[in-house]
Amino acid sequence: MLTIATIGPQGSLAWKAAQKYADDAVLRTHSSSKKVISSFVNHDVDCAILPVYNTREGENKQYFRIFDHLKAGYWVDNVIVYSDLSLGMHQPDADLHSIHLLVGRREVLGQCAEFIDQHLPDVDQMVVSDVEQVMADISSGQRSGVGFIAPVEMLSEHGFHILEREVAPHNRTRFAVFAHDLPKPTGYDATTFVTVPLDDRVGLLVDILQEFSQRGINILDMRSENDIKTQKLQIYIEAEGHISTEMMSSALQHIENKVIQQPGAIQVLGSFPRIDMRTKHIKSFGFIGTGAMSKWFADRLESEGYKVFMSGRSTSLRPEEMIRYVDVVIICVPISVTTETIAKYGPMIAGNKALILLAGESEKTVNTALETTSETVEVMLVHNLWGPQAATMKDKNAVVVRTPRSGLYCSEFEAFMYKHGADIYHDSSTQHDLLMGVGQKLPTAISVALAMTLQENEITSEDIASHSTLTSLYPILAMARVHSQNPRTYAEIMSTSGAGNKIVIDFLKNLQTIMELADAASIGPLSELINKNAQHLSDSFLRARMEQAKAVDTVLGKMI
């Protein structure tokens, strides 16, 4: 039978956490965290359960000391326990003004500090380890004026009158479960580690965090403390992912060997199914469209603990069937069939669910979604400006078009992208189409036209390489990118309707005007045009872009 060591006495919050973890286990209580860990490390028990975090107080004040004593075993799971702490007295006719002594466990009084400071600031406090025993003594002695803060169930069991219910709102405690064997990955895991006291080095913490950031690993928790003996910095980090994955293990190995440069500096505490103290409203996503971009998003949503279903022309799960039992439907199909797909499946989405469009064209698709879905269906468009080759969303642009019906589910999806590092921008439908005409449609059309011009004039790739300046290489690079990837993607970009067409048409008109001035050798008017354009673009924009251009020039200069 499973044996668990935890902090007593029987009935304590830690005792309840152990019961919640395994209700048929044999529980052995101890008076301190140190004794619990000692019992576990000596293999007297199978597991140890200790509090590590409280939503009211933060981390356990003995956090680093706990891990210092943990010389064997792993942190393998967590238990979250809600505690309805209430204020009670033995006398049924008592009120707050009659209290002259407040009794409770040390951590309980700390969690209720806000209430005590507001309502009982001058009342003496008595910290005890066994509240129930003191309750029994008070009851038998008929002593008046003593108030207790304890779980409401405990107060009721001892016949105490409840003066105030839930004096520490949103009070949840996280308990760590320690066992002797590391659990296998679940796909939704976290890894924790702590460092030894570290030697001082400028930028050490930043460099450590950067190793996670550049790999797209999210930090769930981080704290630091100066070691009592040496006063050197110790760091605790909890990050998403299992220690057995190549990404996590290589990150920790690189941090220890290359960043800290101190062998044995990292103690991996364990890996466990990830817990989220925050509330998630979405349980499941369903994709219509099984292309590379759908799979890219699906993988990352699954890593966040969401259930994900894929449906499309080639799947046994049909979209009309999938729609019935998911919270959010995501349509991610080629641009040319997006509107048709929305019109077909939008009416099937039940009220109080959401439709998110992963699409590049906004006005027509959003209007179709609003027209074909129920008024209680949330609608939002997301245009991710990266492809499935991207390793992460970090520092990538994502354009979000919210509608009057974008609600809680849409905001949660937006928060998911923000968490993964995307730079989010908000547009209206018309504004988005216009700007994407500048950002995608026009550059694509220019690239295709440029390639056609080179072919018509029999200019080879070698000719381009030998006669290009660094500046003239920019459009050449864009042309190369368009012609080295899926041609249908770029054909569909150029074929989109909406305000983006105006950008291309206006460009052609302005190009004609410029060529007429150039043919006439009108240097003055051309110079005036350039100056006028520069004023519209603004000095700050030009300075920032020139800095980027210099950085690109540096790279290109090394390659040529």
DSSP codes joined into one string, 178-221: EESSPPPP-SSEEEEEEEPPBPP-TTHHHHHHHHHHTTTPPEEE
Beta bridge partners of 383: 399
Query: Greatest CA span in the chain, whole angstroms?
Result: 109
310 CA to centre of own chain: 22
SS3 of 354-414: the string is EEEEECCCCHHHHHHHHHHCCCCCEEEEEEECCCCCCCCCCCCEEEEEECCCCCHHHHHHH
How would you label 245-282 residue by residue, b for 16+ Cβ within 10 Å and e otherwise?
eeebeebbeebbeebbeeeebbebbbbbbbeeeeeeeb
Q: In what order do the strands lie in the sheet with 124-127?
A: 124-127, 101-104, 146-151, 85-89, 161-164
- Cis-peptide into 9, omega within 30 deg: yes
Residue 541: count other Cβ atoms within 10 Å of its Cβ.
Answer: 11
What's the distance, Cα to Cα, between the start and end of the chain in Å? 70
pLDDT at 493: 67
Please give the CATH number for the structural domain made up of 188-277: 3.30.70.260
> 295 and 310 in contact (C-beta within 8 Å)?
yes
Please give the CATH number for the structural domain made up of 284-427: 3.40.50.720
CA separation for the pair 173, 56 (Å, rounded): 9
Report helix, strand or coil for 59: strand
Q: Which residues contact 259 (CB under 8 A, 6 or more apart)?
A: 204, 207, 208, 211
CA separation for the pair 338, 344 (Å, rounded): 10
Report helix, strand or coil for 273: strand
Burial class (CB in 10 A: 0-12, 13-18, 19+), 359: buried
Nearest to 85 by CA among 62, 63, 60, 114: 114
Residue 133: count other Cβ atoms within 10 Å of its Cβ.
Answer: 11
Q: Residue 361 is encoded by which pair of tokens? A: 């064209």
CA separation for the pair 414, 366 (Å, rounded): 17
Alpha helices in 483-522 (DSSP H): 487-495, 500-519
> 15 and 1 in contact (C-beta within 8 Å)?
no
- Reduced DSSP (H G I as helix, E B as strand, rest coil) percent helix, strand, coil of the chain, to 5: 45, 25, 30
Q: Residue 199 is encoded by which pair of tokens? A: 């030697």
Q: Mean pLDDT in runs of 10 for the chain (560 residues)?
A: 90 90 93 90 94 80 70 91 88 88 91 93 91 83 84 88 87 92 91 91 90 89 86 91 93 94 92 81 96 94 92 94 96 90 96 92 85 95 90 90 92 92 88 73 79 83 73 75 78 72 81 84 86 85 80 66
pLDDT at 141: 67
Please give the CATH number for the structural domain made up of 86-166: 3.40.190.10
Q: Which residues contact 487 (CB under 8 A, 6 or more apart)?
A: none
Burial class (CB in 10 A: 0-12, 13-18, 19+), 458: exposed
The answer as to CATH 3.40.190.10 being correct for domain 1-83+171-181 is yes
pLDDT at 478: 74
